[in-house]
């Protein structure tokens, strides 16, 4: 059955009635405000289900403390789909220092605490009590990355797989379009939810008694929850085992025994084809928040007029869980589809001619391909970024961007989602020149993360030499184009393997290269990343070699080293320098990072001797100018 796509997915029974819906087929419950934009998971999954012929209602940011909000759309004919939203609720509710966040860009007015901690489990518990017997399906980033026993930073413990705690029948992991439609079609045919055990991209529970009496051939059996929660070596081994099965072509079913149930993960869903991606992203999203909201949802503005060009990332950064979610196989849209989407955007009220971004997890992976991906999946024993078999397609993206900026009504097309600078060392296609000349909004985002080799190796990031080579090319191109462009580098503190002396080396590098340091992330151990496994176990899960882990106050001090110019961070920076035996970097001279811990007239006299400002901020790598710390204007170096 084909249903006409509504302007917005209904959030009230009245909206459903106007569309002729007496009972929704599916109700999606989310911890985010409902924004009808393909960057928001609820909107995308809801539109895909509607396009497949199923009526869909949305319950956004319900008050979980009572039954009214969760019951306001009634009982769905098929199932409830439950998600914490675009972000893990614990990441959303707490800072890396475990302090409660007061804001939430996914909520109206940017107000925090609109969703509970561990939102997916809380919503599922409440719905299970309210609608006994109605199938419950969980998904989204929170469920996807908690599908096995996992270290939980916020409780500092190993927690059950989420299906062992949340009373749902199925878990959809990854991007989810194919699995969720397959579930809806099966339930619509009258198949019981308990029989849906063969859908790729899903996890389900099996009773212990059934597991003990069944054949385990063909399964990858992980160490049990009891083992991984008691033995860090077992945890590391379990992580390595399931990490290697996250490929849709060569992945095998993975299972893990818990005290009261057995969790079974089917292989990941097959990647979407170009035609399938084109169709999904050309569904009639309004690109607006639902009109019920009286305050703006801040997360919409940075992406309202942005375009997704592809999915997947083969970078394999250790601190990123994309391998477990979107996968390593890049799936790209056609240029014609992207052009049609931008043409539709130009007709929207409020469009000023600026396309904010055309990209994905990494913008310049658009069109990248490997013959092995379709034949046998991404290789388990090699890194795509350094493999000769990888075919980058910068020429395709350059052609696409030229087409977009030539469209009537388009003034500028920006690349805002970041690029991998190690993918175009030769740059035969002139890609970087094109980006610098026409698609950079003053700053180009790149993420070296660190400059010490043993740290970047553990991060699975390219080393300092690759970053410096890129900076040289960028600066040279800036001179050719005559534009004042700046690299905005992202750096990370507190990553496994990083000692205080490594952070001091990075701080000195920032000083010596006049790099801007606001874009700093304190490593946060989020579920299912390689780095989180290292953080908890103190082991590299693939080699089982010990890894140094900075924790507690040392993590605070490491972050402060990257903000050594800020007065409020200098006491911590002095502590770090003293801890590492580098008191020679404490003093008034040009060779020092921070001033001594004393005040009064002597400090003033010492500062006057030093040509380096202690509280000012250095500029980013650019052409031949840096921002003046006092005025923000550019000045000659």
What is residue 518's predicted lDDT score, i.e. its pLDDT?
63
What is residue 357's predicted lDDT score, i.e. its pLDDT?
94
Question: How many angstroms separate the CA atoms of 117 and 101, rounded?
Answer: 12
Q: Has residue 513 been placed in a domain? A: yes
Question: How many angstroms separate the CA atoms of 599 and 441, rounded?
Answer: 42
Q: Which comes out higher in pLDDT, residue 32 or 434? A: 32
What is residue 66's predicted lDDT score, i.e. its pLDDT?
93
Whether 612 shows a pLDDT value over 80: the answer reads no
Confidence of residue 517 (pLDDT cuts 50, 70, 90): low
Count the domains in the chain. 3
Indicate if 420 and 327 belong to the same structural domain: yes
What is residue 446's predicted lDDT score, i.e. its pLDDT?
87
Confidence of residue 427 (pLDDT cuts 50, 70, 90): low
Question: How many angstroms separate the CA atoms of 46 and 60, rounded?
Answer: 12
Nearest in space to 24 (alpha carbons), one of 69, 68, 62, 81: 81
- Percent of the chain exceeding pLDDT 90 equals 73
Question: How many angstroms separate the CA atoms of 43 and 60, rounded?
Answer: 11
Indicate if 335 and 447 belong to the same structural domain: no
Residues 287-328 pLDDT 10s: 999 999 999 999 999 999 999 999 999 998 999 988 888 899
Q: Has residue 292 been placed in a domain? A: no
Mean pLDDT, the chain, rounded, equals 90
Residues 453-489 pLDDT 10s: 999 999 999 999 999 988 888 888 888 877 778 888 8
Whether 631 shows a pLDDT value over 60: the answer reads no
Q: By mean pLDDT, which of 102-111, 161-170, 490-499, 562-571 is the weakest?
A: 562-571
What is residue 601's predicted lDDT score, i.e. its pLDDT?
47
Instruction: Tell me what the mean pLDDT of segment 38-60 comes to.
Output: 98
Whether 611 shows a pLDDT value over 50: the answer reads no
Nearest in space to 382 (alpha carbons), one of 392, 372, 374: 372
Instruction: Tell me what the mean pLDDT of segment 194-205 comes to.
Output: 97
Confidence of residue 432 (pLDDT cuts 50, 70, 90): confident
- DSSP 8-state class, residue 204: E
Q: How crowded is residue 398: how many other Cβ atoms within 10 Å of its Cβ?
A: 18
Whether 628 shows a pLDDT value over 90: the answer reads no
Indicate if 429 and 469 belong to the same structural domain: no
Domain range enclosing 559: 442-637
What is residue 589's predicted lDDT score, i.e. its pLDDT?
82
Using alpha carbons only, give the angle 15, 16, 18 rounded to the nearest 5 degrees: 65
End residue of a domain, out of 393, 416, 441: 441
Indicate if 378 and 453 belong to the same structural domain: no
Q: Which residues contact 326 (CB under 8 A, 6 or more apart)?
A: 174, 175, 311, 312, 313, 361
Residues 319-361 pLDDT 10s: 998 888 889 999 999 999 999 999 999 999 999 999 999 999 9
Question: What 3-state class would DSSP assign to 142?
Answer: helix
What is residue 539's predicted lDDT score, i.e. its pLDDT?
98
In terms of average pLDDT, the best of 209-218, 235-244, 510-519 is 235-244
Tell me which H or E stretch contains 332: strand 331-332
In terms of average pLDDT, the best of 252-266, 370-384, 407-421, 565-579 is 252-266
Indicate if 385 and 484 belong to the same structural domain: no
Indicate if 416 and 564 belong to the same structural domain: no
Q: Has residue 3 been placed in a domain? A: no
Nearest in space to 175 (alpha carbons), one of 200, 206, 204: 200
DSSP string, 262-320: EEEEPPPPPPPPHHHHHHHHTS----EE-TT-SS--GGGTTTTTEEE-EE------TT-
Indicate if 233 and 378 belong to the same structural domain: no
- Percent of the chain exceeding pLDDT 70 equals 92
Using alpha carbons only, give the angle 360, 34, 136 rounded to the nearest 5 degrees: 95
Tell me which H or E stretch contains 479: helix 464-481
Q: Which comes out higher in pLDDT, residue 51 or 568? A: 51
In terms of average pLDDT, the best of 415-424, 482-491, 494-503 is 494-503
What is residue 602's predicted lDDT score, i.e. its pLDDT?
46
* CATH code, domain with 113: 3.40.50.280
Indicate if 68 and 124 belong to the same structural domain: yes
Q: Has residue 274 been placed in a domain? A: no
Instruction: Tell me what the mean pLDDT of segment 177-196 comes to.
Output: 98
Residues 66-83 pLDDT 10s: 999 999 999 999 999 999
Q: Has residue 394 been placed in a domain? A: yes
Q: Has residue 116 been placed in a domain? A: yes
End residue of a domain, out of 408, 426, 441: 441
β-pair partners for 636: 625
Indicate if 437 and 450 belong to the same structural domain: no
Whether 419 shows a pLDDT value over 50: the answer reads yes
What is residue 3's predicted lDDT score, i.e. its pLDDT?
82
* CATH code, domain with 421: 3.30.750.210
What sign does the CA torsion over 79, 85, 86, 89 have?
negative
Whether 160 shows a pLDDT value over 90: the answer reads yes
Confidence of residue 426 (pLDDT cuts 50, 70, 90): low
pTM for this entry: 0.91
Whether 425 shows a pLDDT value over 80: the answer reads no
What is residue 31's predicted lDDT score, i.e. its pLDDT?
98
Q: Has residue 284 been placed in a domain? A: no
Indicate if 340 and 323 belong to the same structural domain: yes
Q: Three-state secondary structure along 372-433?
A: HHHHCCCCCCCCHHHCCCCECCHHHHHHHHHHHHCCCCCCEECCCCCCCHHHCCCCCCCHHH
End residue of a domain, out of 441, 476, 499: 441
Q: Evaluate whether 235 touches 226 at the Cβ level (below 8 Å).
A: no
Nearest in space to 322 (alpha carbons), one of 126, 130, 527, 185: 527
């Amino acid at each position: 059955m084909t249903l006409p796509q509504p302007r917005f997915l209904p959030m009230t029974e009245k909206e459903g009635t106007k569309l002729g819906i007496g009972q929704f087929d599916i109700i999606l419950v989310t911890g985010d405000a409902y924004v009808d934009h393909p960057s928001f998971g609820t909107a995308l999954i809801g539109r895909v289900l509607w396009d497949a012929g199923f009526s869909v209602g949305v319950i956004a940011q319900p008050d979980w403390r009572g039954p009214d909000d969760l019951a306001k759309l009634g009982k769905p004919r098929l199932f409830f789909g439950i998600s914490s939203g675009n972000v893990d609720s614990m990441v959303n509710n707490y800072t890396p220092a475990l302090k409660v966040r007061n804001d939430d860009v996914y909520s109206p007015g940017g107000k925090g605490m609109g969703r509970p901690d561990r939102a997916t489990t809380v919503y599922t518990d409440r719905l299970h009590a309210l609608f006994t017997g109605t199938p419950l399906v969980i998904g989204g980033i929170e469920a996807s990355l908690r599908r096995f026993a996992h270290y939980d930073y916020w409780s500092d413990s190993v927690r059950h797989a989420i299906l062992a705690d949340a009373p749902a029948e199925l878990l959809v992991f990854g991007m989810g379009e194919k699995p969720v439609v397959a579930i809806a079609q099966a339930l619509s045919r009258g198949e019981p939810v308990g029989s849906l055990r063969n859908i790729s991209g899903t996890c389900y529970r099996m009773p212990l008694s059934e597991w003990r009496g069944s054949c385990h051939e063909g399964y990858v059996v992980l160490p049990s929850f009891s083992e991984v929660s008691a033995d860090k070596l077992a945890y590391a081994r379990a992580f390595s085992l399931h990490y290697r099965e996250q490929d849709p072509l060569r992945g095998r079913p993975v299972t893990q025994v818990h005290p009261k149930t057995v969790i079974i993960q089917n292989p990941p869903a097959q990647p979407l084809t170009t035609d399938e991606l084109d169709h999904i992203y050309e569904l009639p999203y309004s690109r607006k928040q639902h009109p019920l909201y009286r305050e703006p949802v801040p997360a919409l503005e940075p992406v309202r007029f942005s375009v997704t060009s592809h999915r997947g990332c083969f970078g394999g950064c250790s601190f990123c869980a994309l391998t477990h979610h979107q996968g390593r196989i890049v799936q790209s849209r056609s240029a014609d589809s992207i052009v049609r989407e931008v043409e539709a955007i130009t007709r929207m009220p409020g469009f000023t001619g600026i396309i904010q971004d055309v990209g994905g997890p990494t913008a310049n992976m658009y069109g990248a391909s490997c013959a092995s991906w379709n034949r046998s999946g991404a290789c388990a024993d090699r890194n795509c970024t350094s493999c000769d078999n990888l075919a980058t397609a910068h020429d395709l993206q350059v052609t696409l961007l030229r087409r977009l900026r030539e469209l009537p009504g388009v003034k500028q097309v920006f690349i805002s989602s970041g690029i991998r600078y190690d993918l175009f060392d030769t740059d035969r296609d002139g890609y970087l020149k094109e980006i610098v000349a026409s698609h950079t909004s003053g700053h180009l985002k790149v993420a070296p993360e660190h400059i010490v080799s043993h740290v970047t190796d553990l991060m699975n990031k390219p080393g300092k030499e690759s970053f410096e080579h890129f900076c040289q090319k960028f600066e040279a191109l800036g001179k050719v184009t005559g534009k004042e462009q700046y690299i905005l580098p992202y750096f990370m503190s507190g990553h496994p393997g990083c000692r205080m002396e490594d952070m001091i080396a990075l701080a000195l590098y920032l000083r010596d290269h006049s790099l801007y340091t606001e874009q700093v992330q304190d490593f946060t151990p989020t579920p299912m990343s390689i780095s989180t496994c290292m953080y908890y176990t103190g082991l590299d899960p693939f080699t089982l070699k010990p890894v140094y882990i900075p924790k507690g106050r040392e993590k605070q001090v490491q972050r402060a080293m990257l903000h050594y110019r800020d007065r409020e961070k200098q006491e911590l920076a002095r502590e770090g320098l003293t801890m590492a035996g580098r008191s020679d970097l404490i003093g008034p001279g040009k060779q020092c990072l921070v001033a001594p811990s004393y005040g009064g007239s002597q400090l003033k006299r010492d500062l006057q001797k030093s040509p380096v400002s202690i509280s000012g901020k250095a500029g980013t790598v650019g052409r031949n100018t840096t921002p003046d710390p006092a005025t923000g204007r550019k000045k000659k170096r």
